[in-house]
Structure 1
Protein backbone atom coordinates (compact mmCIF):
# COMPACT_ATOMS: atom_id res chain seq x y z
CA UNK A 1 0.00 0.00 0.00
CA UNK A 2 1.43 3.36 -1.08
CA UNK A 3 1.63 6.56 1.00
CA UNK A 4 -1.49 8.07 -0.57
CA UNK A 5 -3.50 4.90 0.03
CA UNK A 6 -2.35 4.79 3.67
CA UNK A 7 -3.29 8.45 4.15
CA UNK A 8 -6.74 7.88 2.63
CA UNK A 9 -7.30 4.84 4.84
CA UNK A 10 -6.23 6.75 7.93
CA UNK A 11 -8.58 9.62 7.09
CA UNK A 12 -11.46 7.20 6.50
CA UNK A 13 -10.73 5.34 9.74
CA UNK A 14 -10.85 8.58 11.73
CA UNK A 15 -14.05 9.65 9.97
CA UNK A 16 -15.75 6.35 10.79
CA UNK A 17 -14.53 6.50 14.39
CA UNK A 18 -16.00 9.98 14.78
CA UNK A 19 -19.35 8.79 13.45
CA UNK A 20 -19.43 5.69 15.65
CA UNK A 21 -18.58 7.58 18.85
CA UNK A 22 -20.97 10.42 18.03
CA UNK A 23 -23.77 7.93 17.35
CA UNK A 24 -23.27 6.30 20.73
CA UNK A 25 -23.16 9.63 22.55
CA UNK A 26 -26.23 11.00 20.75
CA UNK A 27 -28.25 7.94 21.77
CA UNK A 28 -26.87 7.76 25.30
CA UNK A 29 -26.89 11.43 26.31
CA UNK A 30 -29.07 13.13 23.71
CA UNK A 31 -28.16 15.49 20.90
CA UNK A 32 -28.12 18.69 22.97
CA UNK A 33 -25.92 17.19 25.71
CA UNK A 34 -23.37 15.92 23.18
CA UNK A 35 -20.73 18.44 22.19
CA UNK A 36 -17.87 18.30 19.72
CA UNK A 37 -15.53 18.50 22.73
CA UNK A 38 -17.12 15.37 24.26
CA UNK A 39 -16.88 13.49 20.97
CA UNK A 40 -13.23 14.48 20.63
CA UNK A 41 -12.43 13.46 24.20
CA UNK A 42 -13.95 10.02 23.65
CA UNK A 43 -11.67 9.44 20.64
CA UNK A 44 -8.71 11.16 22.30
CA UNK A 45 -8.48 13.79 19.59
CA UNK A 46 -8.58 17.56 19.78
CA UNK A 47 -11.86 19.33 18.93
CA UNK A 48 -9.96 21.07 16.14
CA UNK A 49 -9.34 17.71 14.49
CA UNK A 50 -13.07 16.91 14.53
CA UNK A 51 -13.76 20.21 12.76
CA UNK A 52 -11.44 19.15 9.94
CA UNK A 53 -13.99 16.44 9.12
CA UNK A 54 -17.34 18.00 10.11
CA UNK A 55 -18.24 21.65 10.61
CA UNK A 56 -20.60 20.95 13.53
CA UNK A 57 -22.45 18.17 15.32
CA UNK A 58 -25.50 18.80 13.14
CA UNK A 59 -23.52 17.68 10.10
CA UNK A 60 -22.35 14.59 12.00
CA UNK A 61 -25.97 13.66 12.85
CA UNK A 62 -26.98 14.29 9.24
CA UNK A 63 -24.16 12.05 7.96
CA UNK A 64 -25.24 9.24 10.31
CA UNK A 65 -28.81 9.78 9.12
CA UNK A 66 -27.71 9.28 5.52
CA UNK A 67 -25.63 6.21 6.38
CA UNK A 68 -28.67 4.58 7.95
CA UNK A 69 -30.87 5.30 4.93
CA UNK A 70 -28.15 3.96 2.66
CA UNK A 71 -28.22 0.64 4.55
CA UNK A 72 -32.01 0.47 4.39
CA UNK A 73 -32.06 1.47 0.72
CA UNK A 74 -29.62 -1.30 -0.17
CA UNK A 75 -31.96 -3.85 1.39
CA UNK A 76 -34.93 -2.39 -0.49
CA UNK A 77 -32.96 -2.50 -3.73
CA UNK A 78 -32.55 -6.27 -3.45
CA UNK A 79 -36.36 -6.59 -3.55
CA UNK A 80 -36.71 -4.93 -6.95
CA UNK A 81 -36.70 -8.35 -8.61
CA UNK A 82 -39.97 -9.29 -6.85
CA UNK A 83 -42.45 -8.96 -9.71
CA UNK A 84 -45.69 -8.74 -7.72
CA UNK A 85 -46.19 -5.30 -6.24
CA UNK A 86 -48.15 -6.60 -3.26
CA UNK A 87 -45.61 -9.33 -2.48
CA UNK A 88 -42.84 -6.73 -2.72
CA UNK A 89 -44.79 -4.44 -0.37
CA UNK A 90 -45.00 -7.24 2.21
CA UNK A 91 -41.30 -7.99 1.78
CA UNK A 92 -40.41 -4.33 2.24
CA UNK A 93 -42.40 -4.29 5.44
CA UNK A 94 -40.50 -7.32 6.73
CA UNK A 95 -37.19 -5.69 5.79
CA UNK A 96 -38.22 -2.52 7.63
CA UNK A 97 -39.17 -4.48 10.77
CA UNK A 98 -35.91 -6.41 10.76
CA UNK A 99 -33.89 -3.27 10.14
CA UNK A 100 -35.49 -1.55 13.13
CA UNK A 101 -34.77 -4.48 15.45
CA UNK A 102 -31.28 -5.28 14.17
CA UNK A 103 -30.11 -1.66 13.74
CA UNK A 104 -31.79 0.07 16.67
CA UNK A 105 -29.12 2.76 16.87
CA UNK A 106 -29.47 3.79 13.25
CA UNK A 107 -33.26 3.49 13.41
CA UNK A 108 -33.49 5.97 16.26
CA UNK A 109 -31.24 8.42 14.43
CA UNK A 110 -33.26 8.06 11.25
CA UNK A 111 -36.80 8.11 12.59
CA UNK A 112 -36.87 9.16 16.26
CA UNK A 113 -34.33 11.97 16.62
CA UNK A 114 -35.50 15.22 15.03
CA UNK A 115 -32.10 16.92 14.72
CA UNK A 116 -30.97 15.26 11.44
CA UNK A 117 -34.18 16.19 9.63
CA UNK A 118 -33.97 19.71 11.12
CA UNK A 119 -30.49 19.97 9.61
CA UNK A 120 -31.89 19.02 6.20
CA UNK A 121 -34.74 21.52 6.50
CA UNK A 122 -32.35 24.33 7.41
CA UNK A 123 -30.06 23.73 4.43
CA UNK A 124 -31.67 24.58 1.08
CA UNK A 125 -28.85 22.93 -0.84
CA UNK A 126 -28.66 19.86 1.40
CA UNK A 127 -29.02 16.63 -0.55
CA UNK A 128 -30.90 13.64 0.87
CA UNK A 129 -30.76 11.16 -1.99
CA UNK A 130 -30.69 8.10 0.28
CA UNK A 131 -33.93 9.02 2.03
CA UNK A 132 -35.63 9.95 -1.23
CA UNK A 133 -34.60 6.62 -2.73
CA UNK A 134 -36.09 4.67 0.19
CA UNK A 135 -39.44 6.47 0.01
CA UNK A 136 -39.35 6.36 -3.79
CA UNK A 137 -39.00 2.58 -3.67
CA UNK A 138 -42.08 2.39 -1.44
CA UNK A 139 -44.04 4.77 -3.68
CA UNK A 140 -43.22 2.77 -6.82
CA UNK A 141 -44.30 -0.41 -5.06
CA UNK A 142 -47.63 1.17 -4.13
CA UNK A 143 -48.09 2.19 -7.78
CA UNK A 144 -47.41 -1.42 -8.82
CA UNK A 145 -49.99 -2.55 -6.27
CA UNK A 146 -52.52 -0.15 -7.78
CA UNK A 147 -51.82 -1.66 -11.20
CA UNK A 148 -52.74 -5.03 -9.67
CA UNK A 149 -56.07 -3.67 -8.43
CA UNK A 150 -55.19 -2.59 -4.90
CA UNK A 151 -55.97 0.79 -3.29
CA UNK A 152 -58.56 1.82 -5.88
CA UNK A 153 -59.47 5.48 -5.74
CA UNK A 154 -56.69 6.28 -3.29
CA UNK A 155 -53.78 8.63 -3.90
CA UNK A 156 -50.55 6.64 -4.09
CA UNK A 157 -48.56 9.23 -2.12
CA UNK A 158 -51.07 9.10 0.75
CA UNK A 159 -51.11 5.29 0.70
CA UNK A 160 -47.31 5.13 0.80
CA UNK A 161 -47.19 7.63 3.66
CA UNK A 162 -49.81 5.72 5.64
CA UNK A 163 -48.16 2.34 5.08
CA UNK A 164 -44.83 3.74 6.26
CA UNK A 165 -46.40 5.50 9.24
CA UNK A 166 -48.23 2.39 10.44
CA UNK A 167 -45.22 0.08 10.14
CA UNK A 168 -43.03 2.72 11.79
CA UNK A 169 -45.56 2.96 14.59
CA UNK A 170 -45.32 -0.78 15.24
CA UNK A 171 -41.52 -0.60 15.29
CA UNK A 172 -41.49 2.38 17.65
CA UNK A 173 -43.93 0.73 20.05
CA UNK A 174 -41.80 -2.40 20.03
CA UNK A 175 -38.51 -0.59 20.61
CA UNK A 176 -39.93 1.50 23.46
CA UNK A 177 -41.47 -1.56 25.14
CA UNK A 178 -45.07 -0.40 24.78
CA UNK A 179 -46.12 -3.18 22.40
CA UNK A 180 -45.05 -5.96 24.75
CA UNK A 181 -46.46 -4.21 27.82
CA UNK A 182 -49.92 -3.67 26.36
CA UNK A 183 -50.03 -7.20 24.97
CA UNK A 184 -49.10 -8.77 28.30
CA UNK A 185 -51.44 -6.52 30.28
CA UNK A 186 -54.50 -6.67 28.07
CA UNK A 187 -54.17 -9.40 25.46
CA UNK A 188 -52.73 -12.17 27.62
CA UNK A 189 -50.37 -13.18 24.83
CA UNK A 190 -47.80 -15.90 25.68
CA UNK A 191 -44.23 -14.61 26.02
CA UNK A 192 -42.91 -16.87 23.26
CA UNK A 193 -45.10 -15.18 20.61
CA UNK A 194 -43.53 -12.62 18.26
CA UNK A 195 -45.91 -9.72 18.82
CA UNK A 196 -44.33 -7.47 16.22
CA UNK A 197 -44.57 -10.18 13.56
CA UNK A 198 -48.19 -10.94 14.44
CA UNK A 199 -49.18 -7.28 14.40
CA UNK A 200 -47.54 -6.86 11.01
CA UNK A 201 -49.32 -9.93 9.59
CA UNK A 202 -52.65 -8.49 10.74
CA UNK A 203 -51.77 -5.23 9.00
CA UNK A 204 -50.96 -7.15 5.80
CA UNK A 205 -54.32 -8.91 5.97
CA UNK A 206 -56.02 -5.50 6.22
CA UNK A 207 -54.12 -4.27 3.16
CA UNK A 208 -54.99 -7.43 1.24
CA UNK A 209 -58.69 -6.64 1.67
CA UNK A 210 -58.18 -3.30 -0.08
CA UNK A 211 -58.48 -4.88 -3.54
Structure 2
Protein backbone atom coordinates (compact mmCIF):
# COMPACT_ATOMS: atom_id res chain seq x y z
CA UNK A 1 0.00 0.00 0.00
CA UNK A 2 1.38 3.45 -0.87
CA UNK A 3 1.98 5.87 1.98
CA UNK A 4 0.32 8.72 0.11
CA UNK A 5 -3.35 8.14 -0.79
CA UNK A 6 -4.46 8.47 -4.43
CA UNK A 7 -5.40 11.87 -5.78
CA UNK A 8 -9.03 10.90 -6.26
CA UNK A 9 -11.60 9.20 -4.04
CA UNK A 10 -11.27 5.43 -4.01
CA UNK A 11 -14.90 4.62 -4.78
CA UNK A 12 -16.78 5.34 -7.98
CA UNK A 13 -19.52 7.95 -8.14
CA UNK A 14 -23.04 6.78 -8.75
CA UNK A 15 -24.52 7.20 -12.25
CA UNK A 16 -25.90 10.67 -12.86
CA UNK A 17 -23.79 12.25 -10.15
CA UNK A 18 -21.40 14.90 -11.53
CA UNK A 19 -17.70 14.06 -11.59
CA UNK A 20 -15.72 16.17 -9.16
CA UNK A 21 -12.92 18.33 -10.52
CA UNK A 22 -9.35 17.71 -9.40
CA UNK A 23 -9.46 21.00 -7.51
CA UNK A 24 -12.58 20.03 -5.56
CA UNK A 25 -11.12 16.62 -4.76
CA UNK A 26 -7.89 18.21 -3.51
CA UNK A 27 -9.76 20.78 -1.43
CA UNK A 28 -12.00 18.16 0.16
CA UNK A 29 -9.04 15.93 0.95
CA UNK A 30 -7.22 18.89 2.50
CA UNK A 31 -10.23 19.72 4.71
CA UNK A 32 -10.39 16.13 5.92
CA UNK A 33 -6.66 16.05 6.69
CA UNK A 34 -6.72 19.43 8.46
CA UNK A 35 -9.70 18.37 10.59
CA UNK A 36 -7.99 15.09 11.48
CA UNK A 37 -4.75 16.84 12.43
CA UNK A 38 -6.54 19.12 14.87
CA UNK A 39 -8.57 16.29 16.38
CA UNK A 40 -5.61 13.90 16.70
CA UNK A 41 -3.60 16.69 18.34
CA UNK A 42 -6.29 17.77 20.80
CA UNK A 43 -8.10 14.52 21.60
CA UNK A 44 -5.63 11.80 20.64
CA UNK A 45 -5.84 9.36 17.77
CA UNK A 46 -7.68 6.67 19.74
CA UNK A 47 -10.46 9.00 20.89
CA UNK A 48 -11.36 10.25 17.42
CA UNK A 49 -13.83 8.55 15.07
CA UNK A 50 -14.20 8.84 11.32
CA UNK A 51 -17.67 10.29 11.91
CA UNK A 52 -16.20 13.08 14.05
CA UNK A 53 -13.51 13.86 11.46
CA UNK A 54 -16.16 14.02 8.75
CA UNK A 55 -18.28 16.39 10.83
CA UNK A 56 -15.38 18.73 11.52
CA UNK A 57 -14.36 18.63 7.86
CA UNK A 58 -17.89 19.44 6.74
CA UNK A 59 -18.39 16.27 4.71
CA UNK A 60 -20.72 13.31 5.05
CA UNK A 61 -19.60 10.18 6.85
CA UNK A 62 -19.97 8.16 3.65
CA UNK A 63 -17.96 10.73 1.72
CA UNK A 64 -14.91 10.53 3.98
CA UNK A 65 -14.55 6.82 3.16
CA UNK A 66 -14.31 7.71 -0.53
CA UNK A 67 -11.09 9.55 0.28
CA UNK A 68 -9.62 7.45 3.08
CA UNK A 69 -10.56 3.78 3.74
CA UNK A 70 -9.82 4.12 7.47
CA UNK A 71 -8.60 6.43 10.21
CA UNK A 72 -5.11 4.94 10.10
CA UNK A 73 -4.91 5.84 6.40
CA UNK A 74 -5.48 9.50 7.32
CA UNK A 75 -2.76 9.30 9.96
CA UNK A 76 -0.32 7.76 7.47
CA UNK A 77 -1.12 10.53 4.99
CA UNK A 78 -0.25 13.08 7.69
CA UNK A 79 2.94 11.19 8.54
CA UNK A 80 3.98 11.17 4.88
CA UNK A 81 3.60 14.96 4.68
CA UNK A 82 5.63 15.40 7.87
CA UNK A 83 8.46 13.12 6.78
CA UNK A 84 8.64 14.71 3.33
CA UNK A 85 9.29 18.07 5.02
CA UNK A 86 11.67 16.62 7.61
CA UNK A 87 13.82 14.57 5.25
CA UNK A 88 13.95 17.30 2.61
CA UNK A 89 15.36 19.64 5.24
CA UNK A 90 17.84 17.03 6.44
CA UNK A 91 19.08 16.32 2.93
CA UNK A 92 19.40 20.01 2.07
CA UNK A 93 21.42 20.64 5.26
CA UNK A 94 24.10 18.17 4.19
CA UNK A 95 24.38 19.05 0.51
CA UNK A 96 27.34 21.43 0.91
CA UNK A 97 29.25 19.21 3.33
CA UNK A 98 30.93 15.82 3.26
CA UNK A 99 31.71 13.15 5.83
CA UNK A 100 31.51 14.07 9.49
CA UNK A 101 30.61 17.71 8.73
CA UNK A 102 27.59 16.51 6.72
CA UNK A 103 26.57 14.19 9.55
CA UNK A 104 26.66 17.11 12.00
CA UNK A 105 24.69 19.41 9.69
CA UNK A 106 21.99 16.83 8.98
CA UNK A 107 21.76 15.76 12.63
CA UNK A 108 21.25 19.39 13.65
CA UNK A 109 18.55 19.85 11.00
CA UNK A 110 16.81 16.62 12.06
CA UNK A 111 16.50 17.57 15.72
CA UNK A 112 15.79 21.20 14.88
CA UNK A 113 12.79 20.23 12.77
CA UNK A 114 11.15 18.29 15.61
CA UNK A 115 11.81 21.02 18.17
CA UNK A 116 10.33 23.64 15.84
CA UNK A 117 7.30 21.41 15.18
CA UNK A 118 6.46 19.66 18.48
CA UNK A 119 2.94 18.81 17.27
CA UNK A 120 4.47 16.90 14.35
CA UNK A 121 6.73 15.00 16.76
CA UNK A 122 3.78 13.99 18.92
CA UNK A 123 1.73 13.04 15.85
CA UNK A 124 4.48 10.66 14.72
CA UNK A 125 5.92 9.20 17.89
CA UNK A 126 2.93 9.18 20.25
CA UNK A 127 0.68 7.26 17.84
CA UNK A 128 1.21 3.61 16.96
CA UNK A 129 0.93 2.33 13.41
CA UNK A 130 -1.25 -0.74 12.93
CA UNK A 131 -1.88 -3.05 10.00
CA UNK A 132 -5.66 -3.32 9.82
CA UNK A 133 -6.00 -5.11 6.49
CA UNK A 134 -2.66 -6.88 6.21
CA UNK A 135 -1.07 -3.94 4.38
CA UNK A 136 2.51 -2.78 4.89
CA UNK A 137 3.22 -0.51 7.83
CA UNK A 138 4.17 3.10 7.23
CA UNK A 139 7.92 2.60 7.73
CA UNK A 140 7.84 0.02 4.94
CA UNK A 141 5.49 1.72 2.48
CA UNK A 142 7.22 5.10 2.90
CA UNK A 143 10.63 3.36 2.75
CA UNK A 144 12.12 5.24 5.67
CA UNK A 145 15.40 3.30 5.47
CA UNK A 146 16.01 4.37 1.87
CA UNK A 147 15.11 7.98 2.61
CA UNK A 148 17.74 8.12 5.35
CA UNK A 149 20.39 7.19 2.79
CA UNK A 150 22.00 10.70 2.75
CA UNK A 151 22.89 10.31 6.43
CA UNK A 152 24.22 6.80 5.86
CA UNK A 153 26.27 8.00 2.90
CA UNK A 154 27.79 10.79 4.99
CA UNK A 155 28.77 8.26 7.67
CA UNK A 156 30.38 6.04 5.04
CA UNK A 157 32.24 9.00 3.53
CA UNK A 158 33.50 9.96 6.97
CA UNK A 159 34.83 6.47 7.49
CA UNK A 160 36.45 6.44 4.06
CA UNK A 161 38.36 9.67 4.70
CA UNK A 162 39.33 8.69 8.25
CA UNK A 163 37.12 11.19 10.11
CA UNK A 164 34.71 8.64 11.59
CA UNK A 165 35.64 5.56 13.60
CA UNK A 166 35.47 2.16 11.98
CA UNK A 167 32.37 0.07 12.48
CA UNK A 168 29.04 -0.83 10.93
CA UNK A 169 27.67 2.43 9.43
CA UNK A 170 24.10 1.08 9.57
CA UNK A 171 24.49 0.51 13.31
CA UNK A 172 25.94 4.00 13.67
CA UNK A 173 22.94 5.42 11.80
CA UNK A 174 20.51 3.64 14.12
CA UNK A 175 22.35 4.92 17.21
CA UNK A 176 22.41 8.43 15.76
CA UNK A 177 18.68 8.52 14.92
CA UNK A 178 17.81 7.00 18.29
CA UNK A 179 19.86 9.63 20.09
CA UNK A 180 18.43 12.50 18.05
CA UNK A 181 14.89 11.30 18.69
CA UNK A 182 15.69 11.10 22.40
CA UNK A 183 16.98 14.67 22.47
CA UNK A 184 13.81 15.87 20.75
CA UNK A 185 11.60 13.74 23.01
CA UNK A 186 13.13 15.15 26.18
CA UNK A 187 12.93 18.73 24.95
CA UNK A 188 9.30 18.39 23.87
CA UNK A 189 7.71 16.14 26.50
CA UNK A 190 9.87 16.88 29.58
CA UNK A 191 10.53 20.54 28.94
CA UNK A 192 10.27 21.43 32.64
CA UNK A 193 13.74 19.94 33.25
CA UNK A 194 16.78 22.15 32.73
CA UNK A 195 18.17 20.36 29.69
CA UNK A 196 21.39 21.49 28.06
CA UNK A 197 20.80 23.39 24.83
CA UNK A 198 19.59 20.76 22.31
CA UNK A 199 22.16 21.64 19.66
CA UNK A 200 24.93 21.20 22.23
CA UNK A 201 23.60 17.71 22.90
CA UNK A 202 23.53 17.03 19.16
CA UNK A 203 27.13 18.24 18.89
CA UNK A 204 28.19 15.88 21.68
CA UNK A 205 26.30 12.96 20.16
CA UNK A 206 27.88 13.39 16.72
CA UNK A 207 31.34 13.79 18.28
CA UNK A 208 31.09 10.23 19.55
CA UNK A 209 31.50 9.00 15.98
CA UNK A 210 34.57 11.10 15.23
CA UNK A 211 37.94 9.41 15.12
Same fold, judged at TM 0.5 (above): yes
Q: What is aligned with 1:48?
A: 62
Q: What is aligned with 2:197?
A: 195
Worse-matched range after superposition: 43-52 or 126-135: 126-135
Which of 1 and 2 has higher RCO (CA within 8 Å, sep 6+)? 2
Q: 1:112 aligns with which of 126, 140, 148?
A: 126
Give structure 1 regions of 4+ aligned residues with deviation exceeding 4 angstroms. none
Q: 1:207 aligns with which of 202, 206, 209?
A: 209
Preserved contact between residue 25 and residue 34 of structure 1 (Cα < 8 Å): yes
Instruction: For 1:61-100, list aligned pairs within 5 A.
Output: 61-100=75-114
Q: Structure 2 unaligned segments of length 5 or more: list them.
A: 1-19
| TM-score computed with the length of structure 2 as normaliser | 0.80
Worse-matched range after superposition: 120-129 or 77-86: 120-129
Q: Structure 1 unaligned segments of length 5 or more: list them.
A: 1-5, 184-193
Q: What is aligned with 1:11?
A: 25
In 2, distance between residues paired with 1:106 and 1:120? 23
How far does residue 120 in structure 1 lie from its aligned partner after superposition? Answer: 9.3
**Aligned CA-pair RMSD:** 2.6
The structure-2 alpha-carbon separation of the partners of 1:130 and 1:120, relative to structure 1 and needing over 3 Å to count, comes to: farther
Higher helix share: 1
| TM-score computed with the length of structure 1 as normaliser | 0.80
Asked if 1:155 corresponds to 2:157, the answer is no
Q: What is aligned with 1:145?
A: 158
